[in-house]
Structure 1
Amino acid sequence: MTTWTGGTGEGVPQGIVPAGPQGIVPMVIETGARGERAFDIYSLLLKERIIFLGTPINDQIANLVVAQLLYLDREDPDKDISLYISSPGGVITSGLAIYDTIQLIRADVSTICVGMAASMATVLLCAGAAGKRYALPNSTIHMHQAMGGAQGQAADIEIAAREILRLQEIIRGILSRHSGQPVEKVARDMDRDYYLTADQAKEYGIVDEVLAGPEGESDASAA
């Protein structure tokens, strides 16, 4: 398993759902013609075409995000999907499943960084539709080289090392393509922990605007 994680450097075990306090999910009551209906907050956001990625990324989280993207694209491919990201990163292959789905579907995916987008989460932030990638003013964006581990026979360790280097080249290519930075610069910057503020991420090409107020009011509109 190859992970690409943020500040803690901790990998995310596959098949485990990382979360905050268990069972604490706000419920929202909506009143309509048929009476009151209760929604958990994430289902209500999904109705508004908003997906929230607020955990480390593993296979199970990727399956959930991919399923929501496919559902919303089927519902209306002409309406944007908003993907809010606050994640330290995680398993590269899981993140690439989300990335490929974003590129596959017809609906534009707008990405918004809240808090931190690190490692694989930075790739997803950068992969949003051109002109529709945002960060909140105090967000932190982070990149570094891929992390992984292997044990066993020397030949197997060599195979694992080649695979992690292959995945790292994929990540560099994606970041270069979506940011407009030369792949050589991306490779140099990723060689060690590389932190950016929201404004620096805009200058780098990872996001297009820094949101300074209600959604839609960016630093550009405030100027």
Structure 2
Amino acid sequence: MKKQNLPVAPQTLQKVPVAFDLSADALNKWESGIRAEIEDDNTISILDPIGIDYLTGEGVTAKRIAAALRQIGNDRDVTVYINSPGGNMFEGFAIYNLLRNHGGKITVKIIGIAASAASIIAMAADELQIARAGFLMIHNCWLHAVGNRHDFRATAETIEPFDLAMSDIYATRSGLDKNVIISMMDNETHIVGNDAVEQGFADSLLPADVVTKQKESDPNSSIKKLDALLAKAQLPRTERRKFIQELKTSMSSAASESTPCAASDVQINVEIGSTAKLSNSLKGILK
């Protein structure tokens, strides 16, 4: 499908009093070590949460993607690799529009998961390929809001058109009836590789040798897994951020107080102390 035949995603200039969050299920299923086997100078990799990741300060933003497209050049074809658990819907819409409006051909390759906002980005392709073990996850906007009943009512009314816009994009891309798409979004649907092709979301399956899996040695991957566990326990994002920051501070302090002459013992003590602190803290949170 030519990407220009897809709907333009809405943009909002209105300040909406919400915080978008990652689905705990998507976070749990996201393997951050999955990478493309080969990348070149016309490749864009979307391998992190969409928007600024509050855990690491990293993330995929429209500003970053716009800069990458400028560097590649508007008339050149672009390959976009995606392995992302989703994130900020507004950033996702903005990135979708950037790719949709690009002059060259956009080939999207889902090498892992394209969930939530990342699944919207994936739709902005002239050609969409997906790994056999990869999957899309589509749902309604996932967010946190604060305020009284009037604020919540206003937030729901503000967000509803964006859910409908997502359903338009999915329906146009797949050819499925819009009511079917709305039902899939209401039920938070995971669509594996073969099904994504059969249902029209993707054009073909990726060859297995396109994808490689790196060892997740980055400490951030462990932090993200802890965040997923806390999210599954229904701990609000603000509390998760506070807890993880306190844990990181505690581990850093323990390491700095150690003497260099007993490095191996220090490491063991730090790990034991940190594990004990984590265990005690989690008992209070997950009880």
**TM-score, normalised via structure 1 length:** 0.72
- Distance of 2:194 and 2:107 partners within structure 1: 18
Q: Report how far residue 7 of structure 1 moved.
A: 4.6
The one-letter code of the counterpart of 2:77 is D
**Inter-CA distance 55–68: structure 2 relative to 1 (3 Å threshold):** same
- Distance of 2:19 and 2:170 partners within structure 1: 18
SS of alignment partner, residue 190 of structure 1 = helix
The one-letter code of the counterpart of 2:84 is S
Conservation of the 8 A alpha-carbon contact between 1:4 and 1:146: no
Larger helix proportion, structure 1 or 2?
Answer: 2
Identify which of 138, 143, 147 aligns with 1:148: 143
The percentage of counterpart residues that share the same residue type is: 21
Identify which of 178, 200, 204 aligns with 1:205: 200
Which residue does 2:82 correspond to in 1?
A: 85
TM alignment of 1:93-112, pairs within 5 A: 93-112=90-109
The one-letter code of the counterpart of 1:200 is D
Which residue does 1:53 correspond to in 2?
A: 46
Conservation of the 8 A alpha-carbon contact between 1:2 and 1:164: no
Which residue does 1:174 correspond to in 2?
A: 169
- Distance of 1:214 and 1:9 partners within structure 2: 24
- Distance of 1:81 and 1:52 partners within structure 2: 11
The one-letter code of the counterpart of 2:121 is L
The one-letter code of the counterpart of 1:88 is P
The one-letter code of the counterpart of 1:49 is N
Indicate the RMSD between aligned Cα atoms, in angstroms.
Answer: 2.4
Which residue does 1:117 correspond to in 2?
A: 114
- Distance of 1:212 and 1:9 partners within structure 2: 24
Larger strand proportion, structure 1 or 2?
Answer: 1
Which residue does 1:163 correspond to in 2?
A: 158
Q: Report how far residue 178 of structure 1 moved.
A: 1.4
- Distance of 1:116 and 1:199 partners within structure 2: 14
